[in-house]
Structure 1
Amino acid sequence: MAGSETGLDQLHTVTADTRRAMTSVIEGKDGVVRTALTVLLAGGHLLIEDVPGVGKTMLAKALARTVDSTVHRIQFTPDLLPSDITGINVFNQDSHSFEFRPGAVFANVVVGDEINRASPKTQSALLEAMEEHQVTVDGRTFALPEPFMVMATQNPFEMEGTYPLPEAQRDRFMARVSMGYPDAEAELRMLASHGSGSPLDALEPVTSTATVSNLIRTVEQLYTAPSLHRYVVDLVTATRESRHLRLGASPRAGLQLLRAARAHAALEGREHVLPDDVQHLVGPVLAHRVILSGEAELAGASADEVLRSIVESVPVPG
């Protein structure tokens, strides 16, 4: 167990430094920062969804800058092409052959700003990259660097000039978070610290890609009891059987819920996963994957409310 303890000790040190750096930029959003770190340690992708001006892009940039890695930002627009993301083969006049020029997705951290402003065809260019960590162009497959994480932002209310993310795309994101408005004290601190310049400029990396890869492997080795596997399956199955949901969670959702629960347990300093870890992440991991039934929509229910009732109804393993 010594190796595991060493891995967890390193995880606590790195995540504490990362959280300190991020909260110096993102005021009053400790819970959102913690969820972002959970997704990073679980090797997933994060969807940040909220109204304009609450710090969605700032959160993505802050997490990206704390890791000494390659970071590419993609501003999604209606005229963005799939080749802008994946890359393209260009004919070299000197060698009389085609050469592959990598697109913006070839980075450790990809910040996709306003992802729902691109066409569905362009959005789909990310599907293979997010699921398999590779890109196929003209029949040739190119591996993406490790670790690889996509952090995308979108505005759920502004509909003009936007294309809703298809279910297949949303299912690739391990978790979705909403920033929400800061409280008055946090907003006052933000005015004081952001008024004379961007605090991002002073943000320095606190860890490396090699360290993050090691921490992801440490999280993967955390013990999960067979009864906990059954609990995750029971929760996912309950979403498919609920009369309040037209579309339940996919098998991928169950797998990512378990991975996120491992990361949450590691952040709590444990070498094993508890049902509490799973319950804590049901909303962020499953809410963006399910679709409410017409009856639930007419009743004014939300996906989070339905999922909370499902969690309360599914027996917790002893």
Structure 2
Amino acid sequence: MAIIRCTKCAHLAERADAEIGLLLACPRCGNPTQVYPTLFFVSRLLEKYFAAQHEVTRLTATGGSGTATAAPPADATALPVAVDRTAGSEQNPPIAEWFGHRQVSVQIADHTVDTSGFFDEVALLIGRNLPLVKVVLDRIRWAQKKGHASTVIPLHGKSPADAQRLGNFCQQLYDYSFVTRAIANRQKNNVLLAIQTAPTIRHFFNGEWLEWFALMSCLQRATERGKRFSCARNVRLTLADGEQLEIDVFVLIDGQLPIVIECRSGEYRQDIDSHVALRTRLGLSGNNLIFCVAGLEDEMARGLSAMYDLSFVSERGLSQHLARLL
């Protein structure tokens, strides 16, 4: 069973697994609330527990000696779905070592896998509901590009259930501060969204959401399998001949199994050749270098995978492919 927990009234209840990722009205207060996999929800609770335990240990050490004694950091791989800045830096050495054995140097920014914000939550909402919420992403991107302060999300032509879910998603964007306002107009049957102008939000809607979705999908699958991991986003590679490349998502499972995920929410064809060469250069199986293309049709994904010995998937097919790998 899945779990729903309202962030407004704290109502907690079980839901069907088929509803995972959906935004539903809280049965008690009506607040838009996401349905989580039970394992994911428990992992988040454990994250908070161990963070509190770590802080108690640190404060106890400080109070006992008068000087702060560094407490051992929480194991970054014990809670795979929660990664903070400190954990990110602890995960980097295994990744650097793996690439080093292949005469490739790497640059990794810790903040790119910091899940203390809400990028991961919203990315999962988008990836699991893309056919429905794509109109919201498209209109926000268009407004950002044109420098408009707001955009309108039409609800007409939608079924009552889809209109409710779309309205809930817009409200969730506001709750997480991805927009500055979300105003439902029942007479005109639309929702007005006021646009955030922060660069991180612009980048998120311009495609980084898919990187977060791919990363969290991989980490959740690793969690379910009880695997240890090291992970990074936007990994900059320098090959032995000086050529420089960037990998969107890299996850190293149990220190041995590498998974490279390239994410494209727009055009992707011009990047195929370079990643075929990268797969060969790193000695990867075609199953382990994944091209995740938002909205890619299944038939197209199968055809491209056969042509190029890379694994082409949509956001819908990513989890199934990861299940076969792990």
The structure with higher relative contact order (CA 8 Å, sep 6+) is 1
Question: Which structure: greater strand fraction?
Answer: 2
Q: TM-score, normalised by structure 2?
A: 0.23
Q: TM-score, normalised by structure 1?
A: 0.23
